[in-house]
Structure 1
Amino acid sequence: MRRLILGLAILLASLHSVPAADLVRGKKVMGMCQVCHGKDGVAPLLEAPNLAGQKETYLVKALMDYKTGVRQNEQMTVVASGLEDADIANVAAYYASIPFTVGPLP
């Protein structure tokens, strides 16, 4: 039991030492994403998903999967392969921070 508590304490301490994502940098990286996913995270193209308010962890995983080839899409693979891991974290945090509302389809 003592080892479990110690392990949890170490894990929690390490989580707090992870640097926060840089939303300003994420917005800069997002410049290349906005053609398909929109400046405000609402996609102007029907075949592109909306990213505003999406879960940050989902966006990081999706981008990492495109980058490593686990997930396949010609455009996304090209874009993601040129991103550093920090850029992926930043752009995911930026899109996740955009408030969104659900409404009727146009």
Structure 2
Amino acid sequence: MSPPKDKKREKISVASEIDRIEERRLRCQNSLERAEFRKRREELSEQDRLALEEEMNMMSERIQKYERELEVLRGENRRNMLLSVALLAISVLFYYTFIY
């Protein structure tokens, strides 16, 4: 069952993958901010406070993971853009050399 999911992932463009991960990171960031606000404002029992801190740590780790993924995807996006520009330049050079 894993191969169909991998094929589906291959069809997703880098830009849409970046958008999807940025959206997830933003949702996680908002959840973390709400948890921090709740921790500051509410009187929590020791157990609730520890659970909230654990949840905040998990969200922070997830945000860092998303940021690493975004860095890799943006690098791939830059590489794809440079490749496109190089192909365009070669096409223009070919056109002006042989056809014009």
Q: Tell me whether the two structures share a fold, i.e. TM-score over 0.5.
A: no
Kindly indicate which of the two structures has a greater share of residues assigned to helix.
Answer: 2
Q: TM-score, normalised by structure 2?
A: 0.29
Q: Which has the larger radius of gyration?
A: 2
Of structures 1 and 2, the one with the larger relative CO (CA 8 A, separation 6+) is: 2
